[in-house]
A and B are shown apart, each in its own frame.
Chain A
Amino acid sequence: MLILRMALRNLRRNLRRTLITGLAIGFGLALLVVSSGIADGVHAQMIRSGVSAMAGHLVVQGRGWQEQREPSIVVPQSPQVRAQLERLVPEATVVPRVFLQGLLTSPQGSAGVSLSAVVPELEARVEDLHEKVVEGAYLDGNPQGLVLGQTLAETLAVGVGDKVVLMAQSKGDLESRLLRVQGIFKAGIDEIDGFYGQIPVQTAQDLLGLGGEVTQLSVHLGSDRDAGLVLETVRAALADRRIEVLAWQEALPDLSQWIALDDAALYAFILAIALIVVIGITNTVSMSVFERIHELGVLLAVGMHPLRLALMVLAEALLLGGFAVAGGVAVGLLLNWPLEVWGLDYGAFTGGGSMEAAGVVFEMQQYSDLSLAKVALFAALTLAMTVLAAVYPAVKAARLRPIRCLHQR
């Protein structure tokens, strides 16, 4: 108790210095909390977006499709596998998809297209393309229906109700189908608006001669928290060498790597803050020790054990760090709250519009998704670093020779 009491009073001696150092630590931590919340929010949105449109929390595909992207590689016995998946993970939405590349031709021109053939009512449950339709309507039961990006529609000079011909390769032959533009969407991303469209899954199956089979069965969960467990269950249940079961990170390696890279940038930022904390604390505590050499000498002279003296110096750092961390967490949570409720409008910085990263839409309105576990981790790390930074001055204090200290003023 004496050690803590003395440490507290020592901190109060040079209140301005203590406050400045404490503020630097606290502000750094608060910044870290807010940055982490925003980064995790952005990542969560991108995962949601990428997972919903391009994969699922996990995907079941014909083995080799991920590498070769051949339309002929399908999930064998897709309807049975789908039913099995729905039994295994009843809370999930299992979405069948066929992916194909082709050429769309209109009377005014032609353009290459990347198509997802989908079950519209299921697709609408897991992704939001139907909400981005700006002309006409999203797919319904019409087997000739086509929704396509606005730029692609402009390239083909077609509007809602116009006819286009889709040509695609099927088992070495070129097949074609007449489609009718049912809706035009605007996702805000050039790659999607200029080269992407959706058609009903049966149309693609007929065109490619797939029967009832599909390229992918994507499994969408409520959140990605249980994805690991579900993945293991599904992998164990579908132990068929003609099938590959991938986590979204494997199905969307670009997105996964982009997030890892972004996390690495955040960790570099954390490291920079950590260095500032360490240097700041080492400086403050060292100054405080060197200013009190005489007094420390008195404590040693009256019999205080050097180890206890070192503990007192460490206690000063612990208290300083404790107050700064408490303040930093409080301020960080306070700053994070509006970002979680109302979000941050990136459009205000970029002049509006949409952006794309790793092939995924980057929404302009981003919401913080702060993990309290991460806040606890950052707080613990900051506190640990603060105490660690005081080790050097504490060791110096413990090695002082009382007689030399008593001669110093």
Chain B
Amino acid sequence: MSTVVVRELTKQYRQGSLTVPALQGVSLQIEPGELTALMGPSGSGKTTLLNIIGGLDAPTSGEVIVEGVDLARASPAEVSKLRLRRLGFVFQAYNLIPVLSAYENTELVLLLQGVPEAERREKAMAMLEAVGLKGMENRRPNELSGGQQQRVAVARAIAASPALVLADEPTANLDSKTGVELLETMRRLNEERGVTFVFATHDPKVMERARRVVRLVDGRIAEDLRK
């Protein structure tokens, strides 16, 4: 079963009397274990596609099936459950919960899943160690650098072993060195744990490490390249 199936997807935004097309008939299939980069200039529809795949936004038309769940037919509770159980998100702006420590942010999804405390602790600590944040688990987001916060965001996305991680411009706010380190971390997780990654990015470093590059232009797939 494909992890993601997208068929004839369109998305239009209304801005006053104007209708702005963000996606125009996108069809895409992402298989388990793939590391895919959605490339393209700003406004090409990368983030919109990512949000729709993640069930955060609804398409104007078309079909999206993620992990066997047809998002158009699923109830909000089912979509919520899908996000909790099967998906992980890494946002451009980290989006950590400021009142929670690095450890608590990492264990958040596990906690929402109802994982017992001992198992939760083991997984969250292992994940923080995997992203190079051992010893910083008690720090709050405002006590971490941008790169460290993004690592926590990755740890949070991965900790619950999701089938698919959706990462929106994960390196955009990071310096070059930190960005490379983070990408290496994610590629290692992809190789070692078989996690499927979809990145929305225009960072060439991501493209270099991705095994599949889907180029979007004006809401359409202009190129779909498998390395």
Q: Which residues of A contact B (CB under 8 A)?
A: 2, 5-6, 9-10, 12-13, 294-295, 298-306, 308, 402-403, 406
Tell me how far the C-beta of A157 lies from the nearest C-beta in chain B, rounded to whole angstroms. 84
Report the stretch among B28-36, B65-73, B74-82, B198-206 that lies at the interface: B74-82
Q: Which residues of B contact A301 (CB under 8 A)?
A: 54, 56, 83, 89, 91, 95
A11's nearest neighbour on chain B, judged by CB, is B99
Contact flags B29-65 to A (C-beta < 8 A → 1, else 0): 0000000000000000000000100101100000000
Selected from B51, B57, B96, B99, the residue in CB contact (under 8 A) with A9 is: B99
Q: In residues 146-190 of chain B, which contact A (Cβ within 8 Å)?
A: 156
B20 in the interface, Cβ–Cβ < 8 Å? no
B121 in the interface, Cβ–Cβ < 8 Å? no
Q: In residues 94-147 of chain B, which contact A (Cβ within 8 Å)?
A: 95-100, 104, 108-109, 111-112
Contact in complex: B111, A2 (CB < 8 Å): yes
A12's nearest neighbour on chain B, judged by CB, is B99
Selected from A9, A12, A305, the residue in CB contact (under 8 A) with B100 is: A9
A298's nearest neighbour on chain B, judged by CB, is B95
Cα(A305)–Cα(B112), bound, Å? 9
Cα(A402)–Cα(B50), bound, Å? 13
B interface residue count range (under 10 / 10 to 19 / 20 to 34 / 35 or more): 20 to 34
Tell me how far the C-beta of A17 lies from the nearest C-beta in chain B, rounded to whole angstroms. 15
Tell me how far the C-beta of B110 lies from the nearest C-beta in chain A, rounded to whole angstroms. 10
Cα(A33)–Cα(B51), bound, Å? 54
Q: Which residues of B contact A294 (CB under 8 A)?
A: 95
Cα(A9)–Cα(B97), bound, Å? 11
Known: A302-B156, A303-B83, A304-B112. A402 touches B56 (CB 8 A): yes
A10's nearest neighbour on chain B, judged by CB, is B99
Contact in complex: A303, B97 (CB < 8 Å): no
Cα(A308)–Cα(B109), bound, Å? 13
Contact in complex: B87, A303 (CB < 8 Å): yes
Q: Which residues of B contact A406 (CB under 8 A)?
A: 56, 91, 95
| Further contacts, 20 of them, CB under 8 A, given A12-B99, A302-B156 | A10-B99, A13-B98, A294-B95, A295-B98, A298-B91, A298-B95, A298-B96, A301-B56, A301-B83, A302-B83, A302-B84, A302-B89, A302-B108, A302-B109, A303-B82, A305-B80, A305-B81, A306-B76, A308-B112, A406-B95
Cα(A42)–Cα(B94), bound, Å? 62
B85 in the interface, Cβ–Cβ < 8 Å? yes
Q: Which residues of B contact A304 (CB under 8 A)?
A: 80, 84, 112
B86's nearest neighbour on chain A, judged by CB, is A303
Q: Which residues of B contact A5 (CB under 8 A)?
A: 104
Listed by A's residue number, 8 A-B pairs whose Cβ atoms lie within 8 Å are A6-B99, A9-B99, A295-B95, A302-B84, A304-B80, A304-B84, A305-B80, A403-B56
Contact in complex: B56, A303 (CB < 8 Å): no
B98's nearest neighbour on chain A, judged by CB, is A295
Known: A403-B51, A403-B56. A303 touches B81 (CB 8 A): yes
Known: A2-B111, A403-B51. A306 touches B56 (CB 8 A): no
Known: A301-B56, A303-B112, A402-B56. A6 touches B97 (CB 8 A): yes
List of 6 A-B pairs having minimum Cβ-Cβ separation, nearest first = A303-B84, A9-B99, A303-B83, A298-B95, A403-B57, A403-B56
Cα(A62)–Cα(B124), bound, Å? 85
Contact in complex: B109, A303 (CB < 8 Å): yes
Tell me how far the C-beta of A301 lies from the nearest C-beta in chain B, rounded to whole angstroms. 6
Tell me how far the C-beta of A6 lies from the nearest C-beta in chain B, rounded to whole angstroms. 6
B51's nearest neighbour on chain A, judged by CB, is A403
Q: Which of A10, A12, A303 has the most CB of B within 10 A?
A: A303
Q: Which residues of B contact A10 (CB under 8 A)?
A: 99
Q: Which of A12, A300, A302, A305 has the most CB of B within 10 A?
A: A302
Selected from A12, A13, A302, the residue in CB contact (under 8 A) with B112 is: A302
Cα(A300)–Cα(B80), bound, Å? 7
B76's nearest neighbour on chain A, judged by CB, is A306
Q: Which residues of A contact B84 (CB under 8 A)?
A: 302-305
Cα(A107)–Cα(B14), bound, Å? 104
Tell me how far the C-beta of B74 lies from the nearest C-beta in chain A, rounded to whole angstroms. 13
Q: Which residues of A contact B109 (CB under 8 A)?
A: 302-303
Q: Which residues of A contact B91 (CB under 8 A)?
A: 298, 301, 406
Q: Which residues of B contact A9 (CB under 8 A)?
A: 99-100
Cα(A295)–Cα(B100), bound, Å? 12
Q: Which of A12, A301, A306 has the most CB of B within 10 A?
A: A301
Q: Which residues of A contact B51 (CB under 8 A)?
A: 403
Tell me how far the C-beta of B125 lies from the nearest C-beta in chain A, rounded to whole angstroms. 17
Cα(A130)–Cα(B81), bound, Å? 81
Contact in complex: B54, A298 (CB < 8 Å): no
Tell me how far the C-beta of A19 lies from the nearest C-beta in chain B, rounded to whole angstroms. 17
A9's nearest neighbour on chain B, judged by CB, is B99
Cα(A294)–Cα(B97), bound, Å? 10
Contact in complex: B99, A13 (CB < 8 Å): yes
Cα(A304)–Cα(B100), bound, Å? 15
Contact in complex: B97, A299 (CB < 8 Å): yes
Q: Which residues of B contact A402 (CB under 8 A)?
A: 56
B84's nearest neighbour on chain A, judged by CB, is A303
Q: Which residues of B contact A302 (CB under 8 A)?
A: 83-84, 89, 108-109, 112, 156
